[in-house]
């Protein structure tokens, strides 16, 4: 079962595929460092994820999209500027709400309560950083590429929120309230998108 799952994970999109592969490789290396034997399915999943990533990056559609950007018409310095702008747009437009919540949870969990984040949370944050930073290699940062990064940020936020709620149970309603607001914002965009697709919104 891990072979098709790893292939799909690697074939997800141009930034999440490599990030997931590197994260799974890091987990295997960490287990070796702790003298724990990694199960066979971890190796198979990592290899199939790498295969999916290669297939996705080498797909003809990627070269077609890259050619449509017309990036070759600009100088190297201008291309670097445009790519940095795309990275900033990814953070400030597509990822900002999820990033804001993550930073808030990080300040409360680590800065105020002095809680240990734990390896899983650190790996999730590292994966989000990798998947966002990987787009510097692409001439275009579409909004869909932010989905995987946003998911990793939300998972890290939920992990930290669990630690915060355990310490501050009397204030748990505030965190749950924030979660509901984020959910409502996500549902608003989803309903708007579906309404436009179905012709309910003109």
Q: What pLDDT was estimated at residue 186?
A: 76
Burial 53-87 (b: 16+ CB within 10 A, else e): beebbeeeeeeeeeeeeeeeeeeeeeeeebbeebb
The domain total for the chain is 2
Nearest to 128 by CA among 29, 24, 15: 15
pLDDT in tens, 124-175: 999 999 999 888 887 778 888 888 899 899 999 989 988 888 777 776 777 7
**3 located within any domain:** yes
> Is there a single domain that holds both residue 52 and residue 87?
no
Q: What pLDDT was estimated at residue 67?
A: 65
* Rg (the chain; Cα; Å): 19
> Is there a single domain that holds both residue 155 and residue 193?
yes
Q: What pLDDT was estimated at residue 12?
A: 83
**86 located within any domain:** yes
**117 located within any domain:** yes
Mark the ranges of the chain whose per-residue pLDDT is less than 70: 62-63, 65-74, 171
**75 located within any domain:** no
pTM: 0.77
CA distance 9 to 64: 22
**148 located within any domain:** yes
Q: Which two tokens stand for residue 116?
A: 């240990």
Type and span of the H or E element at 105: helix 96-106
Q: What pLDDT was estimated at residue 192?
A: 84
> Is there a single domain that holds both residue 38 and residue 118?
no
The chain-wide mean pLDDT, for the chain, equals: 84
Q: What pLDDT was estimated at residue 44?
A: 93
- Is residue 84 within 8 A of residue 63, CB to CB? The reply is no
> Is there a single domain that holds both residue 49 and residue 116?
no
Q: What pLDDT was estimated at residue 69?
A: 65
> Is there a single domain that holds both residue 104 and residue 192?
yes
> Is there a single domain that holds both residue 47 and residue 85?
no
Domain that holds residue 107: 81-202
Nearest to 158 by CA among 113, 111, 112, 117: 117
């Amino acid at each position: 079962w891990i072979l098709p799952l790893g292939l799909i994970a690697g074939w997800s999109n141009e930034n999440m595929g490599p990030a997931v592969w590197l994260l799974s490789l890091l987990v295997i290396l960490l287990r070796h460092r702790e003298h724990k034997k990694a199960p066979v399915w971890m190796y198979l999943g990592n290899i199939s994820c790498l295969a999916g990533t290669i297939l996705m990056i080498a797909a003809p559609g990627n070269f077609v999209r890259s050619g449509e950007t017309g990036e070759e018409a600009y100088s190297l310095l201008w291309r670097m500027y445009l790519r940095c702008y795309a990275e900033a747009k990814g953070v400030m437009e597509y990822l900002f709400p999820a990033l804001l919540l993550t930073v808030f949870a990080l300040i409360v969990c680590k800065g105020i309560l002095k809680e240990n984040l734990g390896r899983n949370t650190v790996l999730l944050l590292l994966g989000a950083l990798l998947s966002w930073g990987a787009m510097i290699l692409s001439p275009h940062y579409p909004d869909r590429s932010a989905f995987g990064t946003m998911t990793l940020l939300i998972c890290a936020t939920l992990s930290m929120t669990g630690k915060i709620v355990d310490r501050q149970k009397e204030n748990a309603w505030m965190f749950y309230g924030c979660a509901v607001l984020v959910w409502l914002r996500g549902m608003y965009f989803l309903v708007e998108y579906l309404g436009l697709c179905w012709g309910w919104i003109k």
